[in-house]
Amino acid sequence: MTKYYALPVATEYWKPGEKYLNGILGAVEKRVVNGDFVVISEKALSTATGNIIDESSVSPGFNAKLISSLWMRITWGYFLGALCRLGPRLRQRLREYPIEAGSRHKQIALQHAGLLQALMWGSEGGIDGSNLPYSYVSLTLNKPYAMAEEIHQQIWLKLKKKVFVIIVDTDKTYSFRNFYFTPHPKPMKGIHSLGGVTAYIIGRMFKFRKRPTPLAVAGGRLQAKEALKIANIADRARGPGSGATVWDMAARFHVSATGISWDMLSKVKHKPIVIVRKSAVAKKPISAEH
Protein backbone atom coordinates (compact mmCIF):
# COMPACT_ATOMS: atom_id res chain seq x y z
CA MET A 1 0.00 0.00 0.00
CA THR A 2 1.55 3.27 -1.17
CA LYS A 3 0.63 6.68 0.18
CA TYR A 4 1.30 9.89 -1.67
CA TYR A 5 1.60 13.31 -0.07
CA ALA A 6 1.40 16.65 -1.86
CA LEU A 7 3.13 19.95 -1.16
CA PRO A 8 1.87 22.85 -3.32
CA VAL A 9 4.51 25.49 -4.04
CA ALA A 10 3.38 29.10 -4.43
CA THR A 11 5.15 31.39 -6.89
CA GLU A 12 4.62 34.74 -8.49
CA TYR A 13 2.24 34.78 -11.44
CA TRP A 14 4.12 33.70 -14.56
CA LYS A 15 3.62 36.27 -17.33
CA PRO A 16 4.73 35.85 -20.95
CA GLY A 17 8.52 35.96 -21.19
CA GLU A 18 8.95 34.64 -17.66
CA LYS A 19 12.19 32.73 -16.97
CA TYR A 20 10.18 29.76 -15.78
CA LEU A 21 13.19 27.44 -15.43
CA ASN A 22 14.76 29.76 -12.87
CA GLY A 23 11.38 30.07 -11.17
CA ILE A 24 10.96 26.32 -10.91
CA LEU A 25 14.49 25.76 -9.62
CA GLY A 26 14.16 28.49 -7.00
CA ALA A 27 10.77 27.23 -5.88
CA VAL A 28 11.75 23.58 -5.38
CA GLU A 29 15.40 23.96 -4.36
CA LYS A 30 14.88 23.62 -0.60
CA ARG A 31 11.88 21.32 -0.83
CA VAL A 32 12.56 18.58 -3.37
CA VAL A 33 14.26 15.26 -2.57
CA ASN A 34 15.31 12.31 -4.69
CA GLY A 35 12.34 10.34 -5.99
CA ASP A 36 9.84 13.22 -5.82
CA PHE A 37 7.32 13.94 -8.55
CA VAL A 38 7.45 17.59 -9.60
CA VAL A 39 4.06 18.30 -11.15
CA ILE A 40 3.78 21.48 -13.22
CA SER A 41 0.72 23.17 -14.71
CA GLU A 42 0.57 23.25 -18.51
CA LYS A 43 -1.36 26.53 -18.36
CA ALA A 44 1.45 28.22 -16.42
CA LEU A 45 4.08 26.97 -18.89
CA SER A 46 2.04 28.01 -21.91
CA THR A 47 1.59 31.50 -20.44
CA ALA A 48 5.28 31.84 -19.54
CA THR A 49 6.40 30.81 -23.03
CA GLY A 50 3.96 33.20 -24.71
CA ASN A 51 1.88 30.38 -26.15
CA ILE A 52 -1.22 32.58 -25.95
CA ILE A 53 -3.54 34.41 -28.35
CA ASP A 54 -5.50 37.65 -28.00
CA GLU A 55 -9.00 36.77 -29.19
CA SER A 56 -10.06 40.41 -29.52
CA SER A 57 -8.20 40.60 -32.85
CA VAL A 58 -9.94 37.54 -34.34
CA SER A 59 -12.64 37.76 -37.01
CA PRO A 60 -15.10 34.85 -36.60
CA GLY A 61 -16.49 32.99 -39.59
CA PHE A 62 -19.99 31.65 -40.16
CA ASN A 63 -19.34 28.26 -38.51
CA ALA A 64 -17.95 29.89 -35.37
CA LYS A 65 -21.00 32.16 -35.12
CA LEU A 66 -23.34 29.21 -35.59
CA ILE A 67 -21.63 27.19 -32.86
CA SER A 68 -21.69 30.16 -30.49
CA SER A 69 -25.32 31.14 -31.00
CA LEU A 70 -27.10 27.81 -31.47
CA TRP A 71 -24.88 24.94 -30.37
CA MET A 72 -23.68 26.56 -27.16
CA ARG A 73 -26.87 28.30 -26.04
CA ILE A 74 -29.38 25.62 -26.99
CA THR A 75 -27.62 22.25 -27.37
CA TRP A 76 -25.29 22.68 -24.40
CA GLY A 77 -27.52 24.99 -22.39
CA TYR A 78 -30.48 22.63 -22.41
CA PHE A 79 -29.69 19.15 -23.72
CA LEU A 80 -26.03 18.19 -23.47
CA GLY A 81 -25.59 20.17 -20.28
CA ALA A 82 -28.22 18.03 -18.57
CA LEU A 83 -26.95 14.82 -20.18
CA CYS A 84 -23.43 15.52 -18.96
CA ARG A 85 -24.68 16.45 -15.47
CA LEU A 86 -23.40 20.01 -15.52
CA GLY A 87 -24.52 22.13 -12.60
CA PRO A 88 -27.54 24.44 -12.94
CA ARG A 89 -25.44 27.61 -12.67
CA LEU A 90 -23.14 26.48 -15.48
CA ARG A 91 -26.06 25.45 -17.67
CA GLN A 92 -27.60 28.90 -17.18
CA ARG A 93 -24.31 30.52 -18.14
CA LEU A 94 -24.23 28.41 -21.30
CA ARG A 95 -27.77 29.55 -22.19
CA GLU A 96 -26.44 33.10 -21.98
CA TYR A 97 -23.23 32.30 -23.86
CA PRO A 98 -21.75 35.58 -25.22
CA ILE A 99 -22.25 35.39 -28.96
CA GLU A 100 -19.72 38.02 -30.09
CA ALA A 101 -16.83 37.08 -27.81
CA GLY A 102 -17.82 33.42 -27.94
CA SER A 103 -17.69 33.42 -31.75
CA ARG A 104 -14.12 34.71 -31.68
CA HIS A 105 -13.22 32.00 -29.18
CA LYS A 106 -14.82 29.29 -31.31
CA GLN A 107 -12.97 30.59 -34.38
CA ILE A 108 -9.67 30.06 -32.55
CA ALA A 109 -10.81 26.57 -31.55
CA LEU A 110 -11.74 25.69 -35.13
CA GLN A 111 -8.41 26.93 -36.46
CA HIS A 112 -6.17 25.33 -33.85
CA ALA A 113 -8.08 22.24 -32.73
CA GLY A 114 -10.77 21.34 -35.28
CA LEU A 115 -14.53 20.91 -35.24
CA LEU A 116 -14.88 18.11 -32.66
CA GLN A 117 -12.88 20.18 -30.19
CA ALA A 118 -14.73 23.41 -31.02
CA LEU A 119 -18.00 21.68 -30.09
CA MET A 120 -16.84 21.37 -26.46
CA TRP A 121 -18.42 23.87 -24.06
CA GLY A 122 -14.97 24.89 -22.79
CA SER A 123 -11.25 24.12 -22.94
CA GLU A 124 -11.55 23.21 -26.59
CA GLY A 125 -8.42 21.30 -27.58
CA GLY A 126 -6.71 22.51 -24.42
CA ILE A 127 -7.48 26.16 -25.29
CA ASP A 128 -8.34 27.95 -22.07
CA GLY A 129 -8.93 31.51 -20.89
CA SER A 130 -8.95 30.93 -17.13
CA ASN A 131 -6.11 32.54 -15.18
CA LEU A 132 -5.43 34.87 -18.12
CA PRO A 133 -6.38 38.55 -18.48
CA TYR A 134 -8.45 40.45 -21.01
CA SER A 135 -9.24 38.35 -24.12
CA TYR A 136 -6.18 36.11 -23.94
CA VAL A 137 -6.37 32.33 -24.14
CA SER A 138 -3.58 29.79 -23.86
CA LEU A 139 -2.90 27.04 -26.37
CA THR A 140 -1.77 23.53 -25.55
CA LEU A 141 1.99 22.96 -25.56
CA ASN A 142 3.40 21.77 -28.88
CA LYS A 143 6.20 19.67 -27.37
CA PRO A 144 5.35 18.84 -23.74
CA TYR A 145 7.82 15.93 -23.58
CA ALA A 146 10.74 18.11 -24.65
CA MET A 147 9.79 20.74 -22.06
CA ALA A 148 9.42 18.14 -19.29
CA GLU A 149 12.83 16.71 -20.17
CA GLU A 150 14.43 20.14 -20.11
CA ILE A 151 13.02 20.87 -16.65
CA HIS A 152 14.10 17.43 -15.42
CA GLN A 153 17.66 17.94 -16.68
CA GLN A 154 17.94 21.37 -15.07
CA ILE A 155 16.80 20.03 -11.69
CA TRP A 156 19.48 17.35 -11.93
CA LEU A 157 22.26 19.65 -13.19
CA LYS A 158 21.58 22.54 -10.79
CA LEU A 159 20.11 20.81 -7.73
CA LYS A 160 21.53 17.28 -8.10
CA LYS A 161 18.12 15.74 -7.41
CA LYS A 162 16.71 12.81 -9.35
CA VAL A 163 13.01 13.47 -9.77
CA PHE A 164 10.15 12.81 -12.12
CA VAL A 165 8.73 15.85 -13.90
CA ILE A 166 5.08 15.64 -14.95
CA ILE A 167 3.28 18.31 -16.97
CA VAL A 168 -0.46 18.21 -16.29
CA ASP A 169 -3.58 19.88 -17.66
CA THR A 170 -6.85 20.15 -15.74
CA ASP A 171 -8.80 18.75 -18.72
CA LYS A 172 -10.10 15.40 -17.56
CA THR A 173 -9.06 11.87 -18.44
CA TYR A 174 -11.79 9.27 -17.98
CA SER A 175 -11.15 5.69 -16.85
CA PHE A 176 -13.04 2.61 -17.96
CA ARG A 177 -11.31 -0.31 -16.22
CA ASN A 178 -7.74 -0.09 -17.54
CA PHE A 179 -8.63 2.05 -20.55
CA TYR A 180 -7.93 5.76 -20.24
CA PHE A 181 -9.32 8.35 -22.65
CA THR A 182 -9.57 12.13 -22.82
CA PRO A 183 -10.80 14.95 -25.05
CA HIS A 184 -7.37 16.60 -24.71
CA PRO A 185 -5.46 16.35 -28.02
CA LYS A 186 -2.00 15.59 -26.57
CA PRO A 187 -2.06 13.31 -23.51
CA MET A 188 0.87 11.21 -22.34
CA LYS A 189 1.52 7.77 -23.78
CA GLY A 190 -1.00 5.26 -22.45
CA ILE A 191 -3.90 7.74 -22.50
CA HIS A 192 -5.99 7.89 -25.66
CA SER A 193 -7.23 11.14 -27.21
CA LEU A 194 -10.68 10.34 -28.55
CA GLY A 195 -12.82 12.70 -30.58
CA GLY A 196 -12.90 15.84 -28.47
CA VAL A 197 -16.53 16.43 -27.50
CA THR A 198 -17.38 12.73 -27.99
CA ALA A 199 -14.95 11.62 -25.28
CA TYR A 200 -16.26 14.30 -22.92
CA ILE A 201 -19.91 13.34 -23.38
CA ILE A 202 -19.23 9.61 -22.96
CA GLY A 203 -17.09 10.15 -19.86
CA ARG A 204 -19.60 12.45 -18.19
CA MET A 205 -22.75 10.59 -19.26
CA PHE A 206 -21.57 7.23 -17.90
CA LYS A 207 -19.99 8.85 -14.82
CA PHE A 208 -16.58 7.31 -15.48
CA ARG A 209 -13.89 8.24 -13.02
CA LYS A 210 -12.26 11.52 -14.07
CA ARG A 211 -8.88 12.98 -13.22
CA PRO A 212 -6.60 15.70 -14.63
CA THR A 213 -4.61 14.69 -17.70
CA PRO A 214 -0.84 14.09 -17.56
CA LEU A 215 0.67 15.32 -20.83
CA ALA A 216 4.31 14.31 -20.45
CA VAL A 217 6.64 12.57 -18.01
CA ALA A 218 10.43 12.90 -17.76
CA GLY A 219 12.89 11.26 -15.40
CA GLY A 220 11.91 7.63 -15.82
CA ARG A 221 9.18 5.29 -16.96
CA LEU A 222 5.78 5.89 -15.40
CA GLN A 223 2.59 4.07 -16.29
CA ALA A 224 -0.53 6.08 -17.04
CA LYS A 225 -2.29 4.61 -14.00
CA GLU A 226 0.22 6.03 -11.53
CA ALA A 227 0.61 9.29 -13.45
CA LEU A 228 -3.15 9.83 -13.19
CA LYS A 229 -3.05 9.25 -9.43
CA ILE A 230 -0.26 11.77 -9.02
CA ALA A 231 -1.96 14.31 -11.29
CA ASN A 232 -5.16 14.04 -9.26
CA ILE A 233 -3.39 14.51 -5.95
CA ALA A 234 -1.50 17.52 -7.29
CA ASP A 235 -4.65 19.10 -8.69
CA ARG A 236 -6.51 18.82 -5.39
CA ALA A 237 -3.55 20.33 -3.55
CA ARG A 238 -3.12 23.19 -6.06
CA GLY A 239 -6.71 24.42 -6.16
CA PRO A 240 -8.35 26.49 -8.93
CA GLY A 241 -6.10 29.57 -8.80
CA SER A 242 -8.11 32.65 -9.68
CA GLY A 243 -11.06 30.54 -10.84
CA ALA A 244 -11.93 27.22 -12.43
CA THR A 245 -13.58 28.95 -15.42
CA VAL A 246 -13.49 32.40 -17.01
CA TRP A 247 -16.92 33.08 -15.44
CA ASP A 248 -15.66 32.15 -11.96
CA MET A 249 -12.60 34.33 -12.44
CA ALA A 250 -14.71 37.31 -13.51
CA ALA A 251 -17.04 36.82 -10.54
CA ARG A 252 -14.09 36.75 -8.15
CA PHE A 253 -12.80 40.12 -9.36
CA HIS A 254 -16.29 41.63 -9.87
CA VAL A 255 -15.55 42.56 -13.48
CA SER A 256 -16.54 41.35 -16.93
CA ALA A 257 -14.84 38.29 -18.41
CA THR A 258 -12.53 40.56 -20.43
CA GLY A 259 -12.00 43.12 -17.66
CA ILE A 260 -9.37 41.17 -15.73
CA SER A 261 -5.86 42.64 -15.83
CA TRP A 262 -2.36 41.27 -15.40
CA ASP A 263 -2.15 43.22 -12.15
CA MET A 264 -5.29 41.54 -10.75
CA LEU A 265 -3.90 38.11 -11.51
CA SER A 266 -0.54 39.01 -9.97
CA LYS A 267 -2.25 39.62 -6.61
CA VAL A 268 -3.63 36.07 -6.44
CA LYS A 269 -1.57 33.28 -4.90
CA HIS A 270 -0.59 30.91 -7.70
CA LYS A 271 0.62 27.36 -7.26
CA PRO A 272 1.87 26.15 -10.65
CA ILE A 273 4.10 23.54 -9.00
CA VAL A 274 3.14 20.70 -6.69
CA ILE A 275 5.67 18.27 -5.21
CA VAL A 276 4.21 14.80 -4.71
CA ARG A 277 6.09 12.34 -2.53
CA LYS A 278 5.81 8.67 -1.66
CA SER A 279 6.61 9.19 1.99
CA ALA A 280 5.50 10.96 5.14
CA VAL A 281 8.34 13.47 4.90
CA ALA A 282 6.08 16.33 3.81
CA LYS A 283 5.06 18.63 6.64
CA LYS A 284 1.38 18.12 6.05
CA PRO A 285 -0.35 15.43 3.98
CA ILE A 286 -2.64 17.32 1.60
CA SER A 287 -4.24 14.25 0.09
CA ALA A 288 -3.51 10.58 -0.39
CA GLU A 289 -4.46 7.65 -2.61
CA HIS A 290 -3.74 3.99 -2.22
DSSP per position, 191-212: SEE-TTHHHHHHHHHTT-EEEE
The answer to whether residue 287 is domain-embedded is: no
Q: How many domains does the chain have?
A: 2
234 and 174 co-located in one domain: yes
Strands 192-193 and 179-182, sheet pairing: parallel
Of the candidates 76, 104, 138, which is a domain's last residue?
Answer: 138
Residues 61 and 36 in one domain: no
- Does 243 lie in the same domain as 129? no
User: CATH no. for residue 251?
Assistant: 3.30.1330.100
Task: Please give the Cα distance from 90 to 82 (Å, whole number).
Answer: 10
- Per-residue pLDDT, 287: 43
Q: How far apart are CA 235 and CA 214, in angstroms?
A: 11
Domain shared by 130 and 155, yes or no: no
Residues 132, 87 within the same domain: yes
Domain boundary among 111, 138, 165: 138
- Ranges in the chain, pLDDT < 50: 281-290
Find residue 218's DSSP bridge partners. 165
What pLDDT score was predicted for residue 5?
A: 94
Tell me, yes or no, whether 10 lies in a domain. yes
Residue 286 placed within a domain: no
- Average pLDDT along the chain: 93
- Shared domain for 95 and 133, answered yes or no, is yes
Let me know whether 117 and 177 are in one domain: no
Same structural domain, 47 and 99: no
Is 254 a member of any domain? Answer: yes
Position 284 in a domain = no
Q: Which DSSP string do the residues of 122-169 spell out, in sequence order?
A: SSGGG-B-TT--TTEEEPPPS-HHHHHHHHHHHIIIII----EEEEEE
Q: Tell me which amino acid residue 266 is.
A: S
Q: Is 80 in the same domain as 179?
A: no
Full residue range of the structural domain in which residue 79 is found: 54-138
- What is the rounded distance in angstroms from the CA atom of residue 117 to the CA atom of residue 108? 11
Question: Are 107 and 61 within 8 A, CB to CB?
Answer: yes
- Asked whether residue 288 is domain-assigned, the answer is no
Tell which of 121, 138, 155 closes a domain.
Answer: 138
* Residue 282 maps to a domain: no
Domain co-membership, 110 together with 238? no
Tell me what pLDDT residue 280 has.
56
- 216, 271: one domain: yes
Instruction: Answer yes or no: is 289 within a domain.
Output: no
Please give the Cα distance from 171 to 122 (Å, whole number): 10
Q: Are residues 178 and 192 in the same domain?
A: yes
CB 158, CB 25: distance < 8 Å: yes
What's this model's pTM, rounded to 2 decimal places? 0.91
